Amino acid sequence: MVASGNRLADQWKSNEPVSYITPAGLAASPVYSRVGVIHGGQSVYVSGMYGDTSDNAEQEVGSLFVQLRELLKLAGTDFNHLVKATYYVASDGSSKLLNDLRPDFYDPKRPPAASKAMVKATGKKGHNLTLDMIAVAPD
């Protein structure tokens, strides 16, 4: 879920552009956060990305994250400022590799809030993964 508001609990306030919160009673994960809070900066939206190849699930997932890194850089941001990720996965193999490869790209203390949906197809023939991301470009 993406929500907007201007009143935050005092413990959630930060001088960082984004803070990542694990509510009491829930375990932190190195690949997703429960809550990502934007405190400043310019919002960046990324949508409908696909890996370069669909021949090999590892190449598809890896190349998608390499492309994402480059797009974030062009937008003035990086993986440490991702706020929300939505992954659409059409195969068990791509789902597993997504889980395996995210730690190679995300700081385990700063992963975006995330959702993963298993889908019948991703909208591009032969591809098993696409994603949408929200990031912040720090001021």
User: What is residue 131's predicted lDDT score, i.e. its pLDDT?
Assistant: 95
In a domain, 5, yes or no: no
Is 6 within the bounds of a domain? no
Q: Is residue 31 situated within a structural domain?
A: yes
Cα(120)–Cα(131) distance, integer angstroms: 15
Q: Write the CB contacts of 54 (distance below 8 Å, at least 6 apart in sequence).
A: 60, 126, 127, 128
Domain assignment present for residue 9? The answer is no
Residue 8 belongs to a domain: no
Q: CA-to-CA distance for 101 and 103, rounded, in angstroms? A: 6
Mean pLDDT by 10 residues, the chain (139 residues): 54 74 90 89 93 79 94 96 96 92 92 95 91 93
Domain that holds residue 104: 17-137
Burial letters for 67-103: b for 16+ Cβ neighbours within 10 Å, e otherwise? ebeeebeebebebbbbbbbbbbbbbebbbebbeebbe
Q: Residue 96 belongs to a domain with what CATH number?
A: 3.30.1330.40
Global confidence as pTM: 0.86
Domain count, the chain: 1
**H or E element: which one contains 67?**
helix 57-74
